[in-house]
């Protein structure tokens, strides 16, 4: 497939795509984004992602310059032109180019860019293979429910994790409360319940998080949107992460302390299997 | 003058300057910046700004791709080509273009861009004219000492201030502790002392803040790097802000409550006058 970009109406190769130096997304981080997986040529949970970018944009007072119908048309066309089978669509909306000033431009020209990139789905044994996590203080701003491009804290924490041989850094705030990880939500089986941080301004309302909660309900596994601490985490029998790009990722150790018996547990396995069923249902092979 | 940009070695008109869509500065906010004022064709406190961007870059583990001598040569050339007399130089350093991933690229290609833009110095009566401020909770991340481009919280707070008819939003954390404002440091005359938040991870180490502290010492005005609260602020006889672009800005009201007698006070006036003397000394008219 070809990795293609769509910038305010024109399509080009992603590697040649450029934006204005004075774009407020570049100078001020004044933008929001979404990533949507494509399985079997079909975007997965597209409308949930479009709802979320609309919400993020509203929270930073940035009107979407296109209607959902127009956005879906752009995506359909881009997927077709690129020949994408397995990949992802990236959307970034910024307050556009303007002479640098914190203040909103008097006549804002919001800029919306899309690109599509190849991305293999792990599938098979790799998908259930667990990974290690570290824990780090959550040093981000207090409005993490807005999916903004202000990702430097996430970048730095995730890099630390990788250098410690971990797939993710689980973040905690005062009192050791686990919020989420640098690019995923965190689920833990504590006692007889699967718990994850409730919706709040401190976490992103993950689409895969919501799918996982739905799956748990469908599977009749007791679950609750209840915060837990780093200490609770050390007594969890299972931990897994959810995100659009990582899908459902089991965790076998936190800060080098094994979780459960160091393997992907039964709840994690069931959720992964049900998640694959959802992909097959929503994005069927032709 | 012509507003010009320098991007990794090539000079063009700022309005035509572009960067890669996949630049990590645009996608992830993975970058730091500086703004340096130019008075009478001469950059003001250039070496202090270059030291600071080096520090910001080090804190995000991003090596400067050019030496200070090379950077100064770029700036000198850009100022000459643009014919800049009164303006500012903007420098942004990012971890460069790479397929989007939080992880640092294996072979990073840091990108450093400069631009120069015209900016008049207020001078005269306008410079001592005080402005109103509002107060807002400081919702930013915990590493504000790094001058990163993750400025969305600053953008939103500053916009709120403007809509309330204020020049700035003064930010406070738990316990009402004033940290700084969205784009300036805050000084308050409380009792017989001028106070400002001490250097910490929660504030930017402002160059103009440092100049103001030096001036206060030179003028024998008692001052201290001591935090104060919103409540302390309401009893302040004078408040002023310091920043590269705002210079020394007196404050006449905080949250609609007048400060002092609603006019620029004697300490503010003395600091402004001494600041102009510094400009004349460092950037003399030819």
ipTM of predicted complex: 0.97
Option in B17, B102, B158 nearest A151 (CB): B102
pLDDT at position A261 is 85
For the beta carbon of residue B18, count every other beta carbon within 10 angstroms.
18
What band does B261 get if pLDDT is binned at 50, 70 and 90? confident
B100 touches chain A (CB under 8 A): yes
Option in A19, A104, A149 nearest B21 (CB): A19
Does the pLDDT value for residue B121 go beyond 80?
no
- Is A285 assigned a catalytic role? no
B73 touches chain A (CB under 8 A): no
**A126 CB burial (10 A radius; 0-12, 13-18, 19+):** exposed
Option in A60, A142, A156 nearest B60 (CB): A156
Q: Which residues of B touch A90 (CB under 8 A)?
A: 100
Q: Which residues of A touch B204 (CB under 8 A)?
A: none
**A262 CB burial (10 A radius; 0-12, 13-18, 19+):** exposed
Picking from B91, B34, B29, the residue whose alpha carbon sits closest to that of residue B60 is B29
For the beta carbon of residue A59, count every other beta carbon within 10 angstroms.
16
A109 vs B122: which has the higher pLDDT: A109
**B61:A159 CB<8 A:** yes
Q: Which residues of B touch A60 (CB under 8 A)?
A: 152, 155-156
**A152:B60 CB<8 A:** yes
The stretches in chain A having pLDDT less than 70 are 122-124
Mean pLDDT throughout B30-51? 97
Provide the Cα torsion B188, B189, B193, B197; round to 10°. 0
Q: How far apart are CA A284 and CA B11, in angstroms?
A: 51
Q: Which residues of B touch A146 (CB under 8 A)?
A: 152
Arithmetic mean of pLDDT over chain B:
96
The pLDDT tens digits of the residues spanning B128-149 come to: 899 999 999 999 999 999 999 9
**B102:A21 CB<8 A:** no
* HSE-CB of A34 using CA atoms within 13 angstroms: 30
Does the pLDDT value for residue B112 go beyond 70?
yes
**A17:B22 CB<8 A:** yes
B192 Cβ neighbours under 8 A, 6+ residues apart: B222
Q: Which residues of A touch B37 (CB under 8 A)?
A: none
**B155:A21 CB<8 A:** no
Q: How far is B18 from chain A (nearest CA, A)?
A: 4
Quick one: closest CA in A to B21, which residue?
A18
pLDDT at position B183 is 98
Mean pLDDT throughout B56-74? 96
Would residue B192 be called left, alpha or beta, if left means φ above 0 and alpha means ψ between -120 and 50 degrees? alpha
Q: How far is A24 from chain B (nearest CA, A)?
A: 9
Q: How many pairs of residues across A and B have Cβ atoms under 8 Å apart?
A: 153
């Amino acid at each position: 497939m070809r990795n293609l970009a769509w910038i305010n109406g024109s399509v080009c190769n992603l590697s040649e795509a450029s934006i204005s130096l004075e774009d407020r997304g570049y100078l001020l981080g004044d933008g929001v984004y979404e990533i949507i997986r494509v399985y079997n040529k079909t975007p997965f949970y597209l409308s949930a992602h479009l709802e979320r970018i609309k919400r993020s944009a509203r929270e930073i007072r940035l009107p979407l310059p296109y209607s959902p119908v127009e956005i879906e048309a752009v995506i359909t066309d881009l997927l077709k032109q690129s020949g994408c089978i397995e990949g992802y669509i990236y959307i970034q909306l910024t307050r556009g180019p303007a002479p640098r000033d914190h203040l909103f431009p008097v006549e804002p020209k919001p800029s919306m860019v899309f690109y599509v990139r190849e991305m293999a789905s792990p599938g098979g044994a790799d998908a259930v293979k667990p990974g290690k996590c570290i824990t780090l203080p959550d040093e981000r701003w207090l409005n993490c429910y807005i999916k903004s491009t202000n990702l430097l804290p996430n970048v730095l924490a995730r890099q630390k994790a990788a250098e410690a041989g971990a797939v993710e850094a689980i973040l905690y705030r005062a009192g050791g409360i686990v919020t989420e990880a640098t690019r995923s939500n965190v689920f833990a089986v504590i006692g007889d319940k699967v718990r994850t941080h409730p919706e709040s301004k401190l976490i992103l309302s993950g689409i895969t998080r919501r799918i996982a909660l739905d799956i748990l309900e469908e599977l009749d596994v007791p679950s609750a949107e209840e915060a837990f601490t780093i200490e609770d985490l050390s007594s969890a029998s299972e931990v897994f992460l959810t995100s659009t790009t990582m899908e459902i990722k089991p965790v076998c150790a936190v800060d080098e302390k094994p979780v459960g018996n160091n393997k992907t547990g039964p709840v994690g396995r069931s959720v992964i299997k049900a998640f694959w069923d959802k992909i097959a249902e929503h994005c069927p092979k032709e």
